[in-house]
Structure 1
Amino acid sequence: MINRLPLPRIHEARRLVFEAAEADGRGMAIAVVDEAAALIYAERMENCDARVLVHAMRKAYTAATMHRSTLYFRDQNAELGKSLADWGDPMLTQMPGGVEVRVGDEWFGAVAVGGNTPERDVELAELARKSLT
């Protein structure tokens, strides 16, 4: 087990995301962080740009740090008239595709993906989260 997320489940999440990416004809990346937003797993497909992995890691960091999905974080900031600069953390992002991982009230961290459309990134991040829990 890596922290509180078992490595076999992380590998299953990766498999599901990468199989979907291949079916979509996209190069994607996945990142998993623990409850403290520390990176515990990251990988990109062979045909995936390095920047996509960096964005996936930032999405996972944001979801874990803010305890909410990056999509919800983006929408909340828009409602409140806030920008990323208001938070004072250069690692935060509002790019969709990062989701928190919790079971009930227990906090486990976050998972994020990148490399597809914003909508598909959200779908695949949710798929990865389901396999982790």
Structure 2
Amino acid sequence: MQTKAILSQQEVNRIIAAARSEAQQNQWAVSIAVVDDGGHPLALERLDGCAPIGAYIATEKARTSALGRRESKGYEDMVNGGRNAFLSAPLLTSLEGGVPVIIDGQVVGAIGVSGVKAEQDAQVAKAGVQSLN
């Protein structure tokens, strides 16, 4: 039987805090979502000034990244590269800003961020993931 790490509430809080700090340092109003490896929500934070839809999009970016076992940007790149079949994939968002949390080579969850430009969303998400290193 294999074993794997899981995200505890302590790690989830650390991810959220690091992502929030990155966003606030840049004065970006974003939503931040953390999910487990099955895409199920563990935490959601919507910073002041972020549009309500940001919470939905951040969660879906995280879910896409967890289930796909890759950054959500990979799907965006595929669609932009002409692989339009991915538009019908069961992933609700193919936008940059979802980043998997990988521990010992295993995806144990993901973070999704929405509210600013796609590359800025990804910057905030990556700051959250890096807090575990």
Map Cα deviations across residues 8-58 of structure 1 (whole Å, 9 max, x no partner): 222222222222222222211111111111111111112222111111001
Aligned residues: 129
By how many angstroms is 1:60 displaced? 0.4
Matches within 5 A, 1:1-133: 4-79=6-81, 81-87=83-89, 89=90, 91-132=91-132
By how many angstroms is 1:106 displaced? 2.0
Return structure 1 stretches of 4+ with deviation > 4 angstroms.
Answer: none
Verify the 8 A CA contact 1:84 1:92 in the aligned structure 2.
no
By how many angstroms is 1:83 displaced? 4.1
Verify the 8 A CA contact 1:31 1:111 in the aligned structure 2.
yes
* Structure 1 residues 107 and 61: CA distance shift in structure 2, 3 A: same
Verify the 8 A CA contact 2:44 2:55 in the aligned structure 1.
yes
By how many angstroms is 1:103 displaced? 1.5
Verify the 8 A CA contact 2:17 2:128 in the aligned structure 1.
no
Verify the 8 A CA contact 2:100 2:111 in the aligned structure 1.
yes
Higher helix share: 1
TM-score of the superposed pair, with normalisation by structure 1: 0.84
Q: Which amino acid in 2 is paired with 1:105?
A: G
Verify the 8 A CA contact 1:52 1:114 in the aligned structure 2.
yes
Q: Which amino acid in 1 is paired with 2:36?
A: D
By how many angstroms is 1:132 displaced? 3.6
Q: Which amino acid in 2 is paired with 1:9?
A: E
By how many angstroms is 1:76 displaced? 2.5
What SS is found at the alignment partner of 1:112? strand
Deviates more, 1:102-111 or 1:120-129: 102-111
Verify the 8 A CA contact 2:75 2:95 in the aligned structure 1.
no
Long gaps (5+) in structure 2: none
